[in-house]
Structure 1
Amino acid sequence: MNTADRLVFRILSLQVRLYHDFVRVKESTDSEALHDLRIDVRRLRSVLRPLRASSEIASLDQAAAAVANLTTRARDLEVLIAELKRHGQARQAITRQAALHALYSRVKRSSVIPTLLTALDDCPEAVRAVENERGSHRLKIRIQRAVCKQLKRLEHAIETPGFDRHRLRSTLKRVRYLIEAFPSISPISREAVQAMAATQTALGKWHDLDLWCQLSFKEDDLQRLRHDWSQRTEAALDNAEVHLRSLAHRLPKTKVSRVAVRGLPAAHTADNPFEGVIDVETGLPV
């Protein structure tokens, strides 16, 4: 199976997952449905990122971005309500439940998600068009370049003093999902991927707490939680910084990235930690 075949298979797999996620959202089957939808949209955008020079792929990426924008407010409020319930703040949670239902109704009624799902039907043909124009080998090199470019951005973000941690979190997500989409051409180790996941989780906890602290200055009934959130925010950021330092030691040097960009296999730059591993999502060797 060549690079284009793997790419098409992964996109179709994500399309199936997105259909399932959307049904769960529409039927309100569980509290994680919207979260899973947003994760799969981000994974899709990571898969599409190396091919956005194609107008068809760029349009599909815009459709996926529209889904992310549509669902952001609902997810943020969903997480806040869960936090309020954990703290026994039933009144504050209840007063926000109606707003959450309204946002969910907006998501369900919107044509944005069905538009994305329909557009995905034509994606395999668009990928084949890129393959026919460039060739499978050039397609692989394009993906390698995208991986290395994002790794360099992450390295820069971590090493730059005062770099906004919200932006760094977004960069980390982009890099992680891109690498997980194409593990066989990733120049980093399995341990580095695991460190990325742990760092993303730590930054995510800090991100939520920081947003809640800011919100407590705007919404009077949240003021009583501000002190607790503020203390937890500081602790969460300290923990995230520890993870970031650990991750920085596991990222490849720039020299490794340059070799990978030239199209050499990962084994030419470092031991390939994914050799012989089966992708649990697709059932295929990575």
Structure 2
Amino acid sequence: MRPVCSSFPARWAVAPRRSIGSSAPNTCAVSPPVTRRPPPAGLLARPAPAAAALVGLTLLDEARAACGRLDAPDDSEALHDFRVALRRLRTLLRSFRPELGRAVAKKLQRRLRDATRATSAGRDAEVQLAWVRTHRPERGRRSGPGVPWLLTRLEDRQNRAYADIRQEIPPEFRQIERRVRRGLNATLVDPSPTAPPFAAATGRLLREQTAMLEQELETARSTRDQDAVHAARIAVKRLRYLLEPIADERPPRAGALVELLKRLQNVLGELHDLQVLLAELGVAVAEAAAERARHLHAAALAGTPGRRPAKRTGPRPASAGLLALARFAGRLHDDLFRRLDAEWAGEPLATLTQDLRGFADDLVAAVVPPPRLPPPRRTRVHPARSRARPGAAEPQRHR
């Protein structure tokens, strides 16, 4: 039975395996350049609800534009751009929930989450196809038995996922978009001028997310766990998403912090992609062996009178090439962890987090001026006393 809050098929109500399609580069030379709308100007001084609504509407426009490109067969970046815009929008709505209040209901936010999850399989297949095509052995004697079978498997998965996405996502997103846009526009109509400024709210969130980054990155480095690496990458993204809308208002510090976070995100993204790919290669090796065993079993039965083996179509399953890819991916995985330890442990991480906290404090200080002390009281001299004759006796004071 479908959930009440979503019109997606029931198979999407369950969270799929974690997506890897966020750190891969452009996979198609003919894709149009990714165009992001500039953020609204003067955000920091605006009331936090109005500024958050303006950023949300900009992200909603980006998602709508990318959704309109999903049907273009030569635009392999449309799905990536759509997912990024949705992810930024969801992060904004979650981060500024106290400021936005009930502008976007939780049910709508869950539908945005479901829309993102529904696109994960298609994007994952794109990323894995690009990686295997780039790193497959040279053609010839050592072309990698089983690699053509893996490519066919991933291409079929991508085609099926894209068929579902093109059929289901655009009409569902149009429904979500109308309601989210209505809620954000209502926030602009009633901007709550007494609310704290956007700078103060952003500074508070930057401090919170910086503490989260320290914790998650230390866990990822110590455990090397896939979930921990993913959590650290998400913490980096949330910091980026907070800084990027205000980068033009605080140059060059905000831009420099964004670039550092991008570098860290790239390392964590490649790590996570390889971890998920290694798991996929493990499944593929097992399924290739099972498919080959089924074919051998069918061939053995074909020796029975009246039975003929089914004709094989497509590339043959084999494990040698898949295991070679897995060994290579494993070496890259270990190299990336060494790079993470060398570039983002100890002093480099401490410097980054110190700069983030300093920037957050400056944002708050810029909109919360120090308290003004009242001017000193001037003592008035009584005219009669000021004209007292010299040598006159002072009045006696009562003890």
Please tell me the residue identity of whatever aligns with 2:152.
I
Q: After TM superposition, list the pairs within 5 Å mapping 1:157-236 onto structure 2.
A: 157-160=216-219, 162=222, 164-183=228-247, 184=249, 189-220=254-285, 221=288, 222-236=322-336
1:119 maps to 179
Alignment root-mean-square deviation, CA: 3.1
Q: Which runs of 5+ in 2 are unaligned?
A: 1-41, 137-146, 289-321, 370-399
1:274 maps to none
Match of 1:67 among 98, 110, 115: 115
Q: Deviations over 1:254-279 (max 9, x none)?
A: 97478468x322898xxxxxxxxxxx
Q: Distance in 1 between matches of 2:206 and 2:177?
A: 26
Q: Offset of 1:66 from its aligned partner?
A: 1.9
Partners of 1:202 and 1:243 within 8 A in 2: no
- Change in 2 beyond 3 A, CA 1:95/1:254: closer
2:46 maps to 3
Q: Offset of 1:238 from its aligned partner?
A: 1.9
Aligned length in residues: 266
2:155 maps to 97
Q: Deviations over 1:180-213 (max 9, x none)?
A: 1344479x65333211001101111111111111
Match of 1:238 among 338, 344, 360: 338
- Change in 2 beyond 3 A, CA 1:267/1:201: farther
Q: Offset of 1:114 from its aligned partner?
A: 2.4
Percent of aligned positions that are identical: 20
- Change in 2 beyond 3 A, CA 1:250/1:69: same
Match of 1:148 among 203, 207, 229: 207
2:131 maps to 83
Partners of 1:148 and 1:257 within 8 A in 2: no
Q: TM-score w.r.t. structure 1 length?
A: 0.79
Partners of 2:217 and 2:232 within 8 A in 1: yes
Moved more, 35-44 or 45-54: 45-54
Q: Which runs of 5+ in 1 are unaligned?
A: 269-286
Q: Offset of 1:243 from its aligned partner?
A: 3.6
Q: Name the SS for the 1:26 alignment partner.
A: coil
Q: Name the SS for the 1:55 alignment partner.
A: coil
Q: Offset of 1:34 from its aligned partner?
A: 1.0
Q: Offset of 1:247 from its aligned partner?
A: 4.1
Q: Distance in 1 between matches of 2:59 and 2:222?
A: 36
- Change in 2 beyond 3 A, CA 1:209/1:171: same
The structure with the largest helix share of the pair is: 1
Structure of larger gyration radius:
2
Q: Offset of 1:138 from its aligned partner?
A: 4.9
Partners of 1:152 and 1:254 within 8 A in 2: no
Q: Distance in 2 between matches of 1:185 and 1:131?
A: 24
Partners of 2:202 and 2:242 within 8 A in 1: no
Q: TM-score w.r.t. structure 2 length?
A: 0.59
